[in-house]
Chains A and B, each alone.
Chain A
Amino acid sequence: MRVVAMIMAGGEGTRLSVLSEKRAKPSVPFAGKYRIIDFTLSNCVNSNIFDVAVLTQYRPHSLNDHIGIGKPWDLDRNRGGVRLLQPYQGRNDQSWYSGTADAILQNINYIREQRADLVLILSGDHIYKMDYRELIATHLAKNADLTVAVMHVSLEETDRFGIMTVNDDDQVVEFTEKPKARDKGTLASMGIYVFDAKRLVERLRETSSQYPNLDFGKHVIPTMIANDNVYAHPFSGYWVDVGTVQSYWETSMELLDPACTLDLFDAEWRIHTRSEERPPAKFGPQSKVEGSMICNGCVVRGTVEHSVLSPGVYVSPGAVVRDSIVMTDTWIGPGAVLDRVIVDKDVVIGANVQLGVGTENVPNRLQPDKLTTGISIVGKGAHIPAGISIGRNVVIASDCDEDQFNGDVASGESI
């Protein structure tokens, strides 16, 4: 039984604002030292799946860099291993991936070359730990053509998910994308599918002639429910799609709660990542740290409360970081105060900067639908001049220089 995993990692993730401006969403840092895709990649190798393709499209550099030849996941193999599949030009056509299923369709050769019996389609932007062997066991036991991992959601939330309606045998009888009505059941598709390889190829070919932007949820799955054996595999563990700034922030903060069910310390299910070699985190005599996650290479001489610090973050004396997420190699100047901010990598925050002050009630003017809860975001490589104060729901663009600031920044503004 040969299983190949194909991880969809091409999405732009526009709702993550500047965090995914320069990188694909799966490559957004998470929990200090990880990238979001590490969870899916680690699930693969921990489930003994060593044939993994990563399909990229939007801003792939950071992701390519991160995955490299797959060493951290032991995917640098002679046989199998990790393969990055990017859109390519052919003699008769050249096309970007226009949908999830279209991306797979364009890489059908990979499935064929690997002589796969089963194809596992995964999303690169979910946070969860899952043993895919159980899903595959269900698939085989039911003699299914397609098995979809599902989880129970509350009835009020069903309009945010693709809902699978099943019969007593867990066979899927109907699939409704974001149903308004509450009568479709509460089993939400997790975007994790295992297909019989032959049937997948067959169905992709058939449906592609009808739909140009071939998508699993919209086209392939409904067709297969009508014609093939499609089953649901219920999953009950921790699973989050960190699709928005708010959910990204909440999920990160949740990790600081001792009751969080996502156990990163589980020695039986390690999350692997590409770690740079960094010395231990250092705490100075003035440091005060509580309820936080701190990575190697950090130097903390100030106060850190309820925050996540990636490797190499420097917190100067007198600085306060509260309810915030600070990514790799950011420098926080003396006396700076950060409250409810997400700071990307390589940012310099000048001395005595007040970041995240004032009222939460002014949504971001340019992205009023995304930033309304008081979280401010600083893009990668921005330099914030000393002494200014910056409000809430503010977005500072990547690589912003000090001279682009004109004094204080009010809540809801963007630079």
Chain B
Amino acid sequence: MRVLALIMAGGASPSLSALTAGRAAAATPFAGKYRIIDFTLSNCVNSGIYDVGVLSQHQPRSLHEHIGVGKPWDLDRLQGGVRVLHPFPTPDGGGWQRGTADAIRYHLDVIEERPVDYVMVLAGDHVYKMDYRPLLDLHMQRGADITLAVHSVPPHEAYRYGMVSVDGEGRVTKFEEKPRRTSSALASMGVYAFRKDYLVDLLYRDQAVDFGSEMLPRIVNEANVCAYTFNGYWADVGTVQAYYEANIALLAETPALDLYDPEWVVRTRSFERPAAQLGAAARIERSLLCDGCRVDGHVSGSVIGTGVVVGAGAIIRDSVIMPDSVIEPGVVLDNCVVDKQVVIGRDCRIGEGSIGTPNAAQPQLLNTGLSVIGKAARISAGHTIGRNVVVTARTFVDQDLASGETF
């Protein structure tokens, strides 16, 4: 069985707010030392798939740098290995990809020349550990054209997903993209297995640009589409809130997503950093801490990325801090997502005040009290920043910000 995996990593994910202003959603740091795409890449190699294409489009630099030649995943190979597939202009000036099917159609020549029998199409911005082999086994047994991985979701979340209805034999009978109301509780995970010849033929014949919103609702009636139910942990961290919750869920005593499983190591490009150093006055509980951190303050309920510095007397509560940010002495940080390389000046108070004021610019997105500080932002000493605040990347904040503001 020869399989090519194509990872869709081009999405802009505006719902991730300032976190994806300068990077693809798939390249967003997660759990301190990973990028979100590491989960899908690791799933591939842990499932024995060593032929991988990563399709990029939106802000790809961070993603390309992360993947490099694929060393951390043993994807630096002569046969197969990882290759990055980026759009290029067509003679008529077009060339940008308008959807998942469009993106793959664009690189159809790459797929055609690969000596594979099956093609898996995977989302690059989901957090989950999944062995793709049982899905592929089912796909082969059933002689399916397409097999979709599905996961049950609560009804109030159905509007975020492609919802799938399945008959008694596991055949997909209906596919509804982001329905307001549905009788189904099974969401498509954005994990598809195709017979290669079927996929190639389909993309030549059908000019639709997106699998989920256009193609699948139509072709479930004509093609043999099967569903494979996945029961493990799976999170589509497409919103700031979901992203935050998925990080914080790792702090549970026995989290649903076990990163410590030696049988299913999630691999990433790790930078060489010394052991985390905790000072004599440090206090840390219910938290994750990565190599290269230096902590002299008090950290609780938080995920602290590689190389973060927490100054003396600083207090960090229920927050996610990405690599190489500096929290200076005396800062109080509550309920925040802080991107990389941020500097928060002495004695600032971030995330203070009432939860009741949603973000004025994105009230749908930020209304639970979470504040977001974009990459490499600097906040000068002594300022107070409220809740549901967004500080955009690379800005210099030299003032107080009330709850709900965007700077």
Residues of A whose CB lies within 8 Å of any CB of B are 31-34, 71-72, 256, 258, 264-265, 270-273, 275, 277, 279-297, 299, 306, 308-310
Contacts and interface: CB of A to CB of B under 8 A. Distances in A.
B280 A293 contact: no
Given A288-B283, A290-B281, A299-B260, A72 B290 contact: no
Contacts, number: 110
Given A273-B272, A275-B272, A294-B275, A280 B290 contact: yes
B286 A284 contact: yes
A280 B33 contact: yes
A284 B285 contact: yes
A266 to B, nearest CB: 9
Given A265-B292, A287-B285, A308 B275 contact: yes
A31 B273 CA distance: 11
Nearest to A287: B285
23 contacts: A33-B274, A71-B71, A273-B272, A275-B272, A277-B270, A279-B31, A280-B31, A280-B33, A280-B304, A281-B276, A282-B287, A283-B284, A283-B286, A283-B289, A285-B253, A285-B286, A289-B283, A290-B279, A291-B279, A293-B276, A296-B33, A296-B290, A296-B291
A284 B277 CA distance: 17
Contacts of A308: 275
A97 B120 CA distance: 55
Residue from the set B31, B280, B292, B303 with the largest chain A CB neighbour count within 10 Å:
B280
B276 A283 contact: no
Interface string B297-325: 00000011000000000000000000000
7 closest A-B pairs by beta carbon, nearest first, are A32-B275, A279-B259, A264-B274, A293-B275, A280-B288, A280-B32, A291-B280
B72 interface: yes
Contacts of B251: 282
B204 to A, nearest CB: 41
A294 B294 CA distance: 10
Size category, B interface = 35 or more
Contacts of A286: 285
Contact of B253 (A32, A284, A291): A284
Interface string B48-74: 000000000000000000000001100
A292 B285 contact: no
B261 to A, nearest CB: 9
Residue from the set A271, A279, A280, A293 with the largest chain B CB neighbour count within 10 Å:
A280
A279 B260 contact: yes
Given A277-B72, A280-B31, A289-B278, A270 B285 contact: no
A294 B289 contact: yes
A297 B260 contact: yes
B341 to A, nearest CB: 13
A280 B272 CA distance: 14
Contacts of A291: 278-280, 282
B284 A287 contact: yes
Nearest to B72: A277
Contacts of A309: 275
A160 B280 CA distance: 34
A327 B144 CA distance: 50
B278 to A, nearest CB: 5
A306 B281 CA distance: 11
B242 interface: no
Contacts of B265: 277
Interface of A is mostly: loop
A283 B272 contact: no
Interface of B is mostly: loop
Given A279-B260, A282-B287, A293-B276, 19 more contacts: A32-B275, A33-B274, A33-B291, A265-B277, A271-B272, A277-B266, A279-B31, A279-B288, A280-B31, A280-B259, A281-B290, A283-B284, A284-B253, A285-B253, A291-B278, A293-B274, A295-B291, A306-B280, A310-B275
A255 to B, nearest CB: 8
A283 B272 CA distance: 22
Given A277-B268, A296-B33, A290 B283 contact: yes
Given A293-B275, A295-B276, A283 B287 contact: yes
Nearest to B274: A264
B267 interface: yes
A265 B307 CA distance: 9
A297 B258 CA distance: 12
Nearest to A266: B274
A71 B286 CA distance: 35
B366 to A, nearest CB: 26
Contacts of B275: 31-33, 264, 293-295, 308-310
A78 B60 CA distance: 30
Contacts of A258: 279
Contacts of B272: 72, 270-273, 275
Contacts of B292: 265
B289 A280 contact: yes
B282 A281 contact: no
Contact of B274 (A72, A265, A279, A297): A265
A288 B287 CA distance: 12
B316 to A, nearest CB: 12
Contacts of B71: 71
Contacts of A297: 260
A219 B259 CA distance: 55
A34 B266 CA distance: 22
B287 to A, nearest CB: 5
A290 B277 contact: no
Nearest to A274: B272
Given A33-B275, A272-B272, A275-B270, A289 B260 contact: no
Given A32-B274, A264-B274, A277-B72, A283 B285 contact: yes
Contacts of A272: 272
Contacts of A292: 277-278
Contacts of A285: 253, 285-286
Nearest to A73: B272
Contacts of A280: 31-33, 259, 288-290, 303-304
Contacts of A275: 270, 272
A289 B279 contact: no
Given A293-B274, A293-B277, A295-B276, A281 B283 contact: no
Nearest to B302: A283
Nearest to B291: A296
B282 A289 contact: yes
Residue from the set B260, B278, B287, B303 with the largest chain A CB neighbour count within 10 Å:
B278
Contacts of B283: 288-290
A264 to B, nearest CB: 4
Contacts of B288: 279-283
A288 B283 CA distance: 6
B37 to A, nearest CB: 15
A258 B311 CA distance: 13
